[in-house]
Amino acid sequence: MTIQYENVQFTPRLPFKYYEHDATKGVNVPPHWHHGIEINYLVTGTALKFVADGVTKEYHPGDIWAINHRVIHSISGPSKEDWLEFGLIVDDSVLQSSLLSSPNWQINLQNENLSKSTTAAYEALKKHFIAIHDLIHCQTNDVIRMKILSHFFMVLAILTESFTTPMIEQDINPNSLLVDTVMNVINEDYSRQITGTMIASQFHVSLTTLNQQFGYTVQMSVNKYIRLVRLLNARRLLLETNKAVSYIAGECGFASDKTFYRNFKAWKGVTPSAYRRKYAKYHKNDTRYF
């Protein structure tokens, strides 16, 4: 499985991508990432499983949530439901032109973390999202576009005031193009015996520099990102296939079964086999290769 980079295409004449899942189909978006932030709103339907960097959360009708820059995520939900689930993807370029502080904050938008002071902001976000949804379904003209933009900028204002936390600023010159290129290389070549040192050499930078860029952009080192991508792919194979654990370890780039077991247990708290026994029943096994 290659974790896809999504080249976000803006909705015509608007500074964001609007998307809405087809109400006649199940919600099934494979693992991907993009530069910008993503805000989702599940209005009607049933529970959705949302996986971000390997952590699964379940969202229910009435929930609104956000994904930060460059986080690997996927979403799934059953078919034959009365779905209304939609969202916005806002690219870094738009954020930085409107909010100079945006590269240095993280969004924390989870309904279980709401305080009295943020409950009203959370409800206001929902109202602005519904307004955007309704207006986008109107025949677009300049007045409709201005109304959409007014709600969109209120969404950004509410997020910034109530749901962001500042990151520790680092004295570096960000190179997002380098980070994005390296992430794509790792997402495609994770099964090979690659290391941070090898990749730094490939791109003619020091490992220290590459780690600084990754730390600033994705809040982890290069080697930690390599390990995360390998674990995400191993998790998928554990849940969706009947392949042997030893095969999965090699297929996902781990040097040995022992290394795979150690890393997986540190990540999920249980061994790969125990994780498969507990959760594979929720996934359809792919037996085409046996």
76 plus 181 within the same structural domain:
no
142 plus 272 within the same structural domain:
no
- Count of CB atoms situated within 10 Å of the CB of 278: 12
pLDDT of residue 200: 95
24 plus 160 within the same structural domain:
yes
* CA dihedral (250, 255, 257, 261) positive or negative: negative
Token pair for residue 179? 């980070």
36 plus 157 within the same structural domain:
yes
Tens-digit pLDDT profile for residues 56-90: 899 999 999 999 988 999 888 877 777 889 999 99
126 plus 48 within the same structural domain:
yes
148 plus 182 within the same structural domain:
no
Establish if 290 belongs to a structural domain: no
CATH of the domain at 69: 2.60.120.10
Q: Which domain holds residue 95?
A: 4-166
41 plus 156 within the same structural domain:
yes
148 plus 97 within the same structural domain:
yes
Establish if 154 belongs to a structural domain: yes
- Count of CB atoms situated within 10 Å of the CB of 113: 10
Examine the fold and report which residue of 105, 131, 166 is the final residue of a domain before the chain moves on: 166
Q: What are phi and psi of 204, to 5 degrees?
A: 60, 40
pLDDT of residue 165: 84
Contacts of 176 (CB under 8 A, 6+ apart): 35, 92, 217
pTM given for the model: 0.82
Establish if 288 belongs to a structural domain: no
Could you give the count of Cα atoms lying within 13 Å of 73 in the half-sphere of its Cβ? 21
pLDDT of residue 1: 56
Examine the fold and report which residue of 112, 137, 166 is the final residue of a domain before the chain moves on: 166
157 plus 186 within the same structural domain:
no
154 plus 187 within the same structural domain:
no
pLDDT of residue 283: 61
Mean pLDDT by 10 residues, the chain (290 residues): 74 91 76 90 90 89 92 84 88 83 80 79 95 92 95 94 79 85 94 94 94 89 95 92 94 95 94 90 48
83 plus 161 within the same structural domain:
yes
CATH of the domain at 275: 1.10.10.60
Task: Say which DSSP state 6 is in.
Answer: -
pLDDT of residue 288: 37
Token pair for residue 220? 């982890």
126 plus 186 within the same structural domain:
no
| Structural domain total, the chain | 2
Examine the fold and report which residue of 134, 166, 198 is the final residue of a domain before the chain moves on: 166
Task: Say which DSSP state 205 is in.
Answer: S
